[in-house]
Amino acid sequence: MGRALIVGAAGFVGKYLTRELEEAGHTVFPTDMPEINLLDKASLEAAIRKSNPDYIVNLAAISSVGASWKNPTLTMDVNVKGTLYLLEAIQELAPHAKTLLIGSAEEYAQQESPLKESDSLQASNPYGISKIAQENFADLFRKKYGMQIICTRSFNHTGVGQVEAFAIPSFIGQAARIEKSGQEGTIKVGNLSAYRDFSDVRDVVRTYRLLLENKNEFHTYNVGSGKAHKVEDLLQTIVSFATVKINVEQDPERMRPVDMPYQCADNSRIVNAGYWRGTPIQETLKWMFDNERNA
């Protein structure tokens, strides 16, 4: 088993990935602010020296489209400059380490069919643009230094512990609070007409572990369920869990400046490699709602 350095381990996905790697027998070095800062190369170098890693995963990022619109400059600093600092530190101190960089479905150009890794990249928001740049630097470091770098284009994933800045935990948090009140209430929502590929975070981190542990045929992998769900249908599933009446009201403050109507992964690469375990999204929503209900 190997030694794994996780940058950004205190975040939503980091906690699940830490557990996934530890349960598989790896020694994990979970790091986050203030111990490590993507924009401070010295802290990155110190973490690499301390862990002497076989695997490195970068989960530290401005990770929502909404946040990227509010601060595009910070998004580029953290997601591009920070990743570049990390790659430089890895090249200098642990060039043998296999590195996993987490990208996004937001990198792709809009299309009405499942997205393949070979499809055109044409991001429509600062977050997606930053992740395309990250991939470009990964490719440069592979070619220049022969580094082992795998990039994902991860589609939406959710689970217990995700903050309410994201749609699904926002719906669930609001619904659970209304139920606890024992009275009829109203959920405020953004765009419900979009179709999105949602996965269980536990499936996603399992895929990340298998990408690290195995020899990979490709440099880039979609990580998603391969199924697109209308956001409105997911909301109605959540509402159905509640024991009181819940109304829905659209909130202009929750609408994005640009929003793709349809987004779905062609996940053939991870399925064919045996890396994907597809938990039905309805099971994930029930797990999340029950957790909030009992909190």
- Specify whether the CB–CB gap between 103 and 223 falls below 8 A: no
Strand ranges of the sheet holding 27-31, from the earlier edge strand across to the other edge: 27-31, 3-7, 55-58, 98-104, 148-154, 220-223
DSSP 34: T
The per-residue pLDDT for range 208-236, each reduced to its tens digit, is 999 999 999 999 999 999 999 999 999 99
The CATH code that applies to domain 159-196+226-265+279-293 is: 3.90.25.10
pLDDT the model gives residue 258: 54
pLDDT the model gives residue 132: 98
CA–CA gap between residue 109 and residue 33 (Å, rounded): 33
The CATH class for the domain spanning 3-157+201-223 reads: alpha beta
pLDDT the model gives residue 64: 85
Task: Enumerate the domain spans of the chain.
Answer: 3-157+201-223, 159-196+226-265+279-293
CA–CA gap between residue 292 and residue 117 (Å, rounded): 36
DSSP 265: B
Q: Low-confidence residues of the chain, pLDDT below 70?
A: 256-259
Cβ neighbours around 117 below 10 Å, total: 19
The per-residue pLDDT for range 92-143, each reduced to its tens digit, is 999 999 999 999 999 999 999 999 999 999 999 999 999 999 999 999 999 9
Q: Which residues contact 284 (CB under 8 A, 6 or more apart)?
A: 158, 159, 198, 199, 200
pLDDT the model gives residue 165: 86
pLDDT the model gives residue 256: 67
In whole angstroms, what separates CA 164 from the centre of its chain? 15
pLDDT the model gives residue 65: 87
The residues that bridge with 56 in the sheet, in sequence order, are 5, 99
Rounded to two decimals, the pTM is 0.95
